[in-house]
Amino acid sequence: MHAPRHDRLRLLRGLALVFAALAAGGGQTNAPVKPPANAPASVAVEIPKAVLERKSVFHADSKTARDPFFPNSARRGASKLASVPAVAPETPKAKPVDLLELKGIAGPPSRRFALVNGQLLSVGEEAYVSTSAGSIKVKCVEISENSVVLTINDEQQKRELRLREGP
């Protein structure tokens, strides 16, 4: 339910007055505060010796010190970890054909469907199947109870994919 118009106007006027007071400084000035007339001229405060004693010592040797938040940073000088080149061993790249996987088979024996990498195929059907190494064109030649036979990229060579055993 909406508030009547005069209530909204009253609220807006009130907010405008508050903002105007805040913008004007609210009666505050930047003048220094004067001490009361009956206050002593100066007060001597004795700092305990335990406060002045050094409790921790930090060494800032640029050859051995390191930043605890960025240990591999070379900002404070060369560190042992930063001087070792980080080179990952090269792994041979898989071919898209090697990444084809039969996920499932469904349907009656006269009209079966095979699920290859998320792509549903029937016998005689061509489709582009996506793999992590790229997309390849496949044609479904035959579907049996637990395998599918495919041709890859219009080649004569056939490849059989089997369902995985177990869970």
Domain spans of the chain, in order of start: 96-162
- Given the structure tokens 């199947």, which residue do they identify? 129
For the stretch 74-130, pLDDT in tens is 776 554 554 556 666 676 777 777 889 999 999 998 899 999 999 999 999 999 998
For the stretch 30-84, pLDDT in tens is 666 666 677 666 667 788 887 778 777 776 676 777 777 887 877 765 545 545 5
Neighbouring residues of 144: CB distance < 8 A, sequence distance ≥ 6: none
Q: In what order do the strands lie in the sheet with 102-106?
A: 102-106, 113-116, 119-122
DSSP 4-20: PHHHHHHHHHHHHHHHH
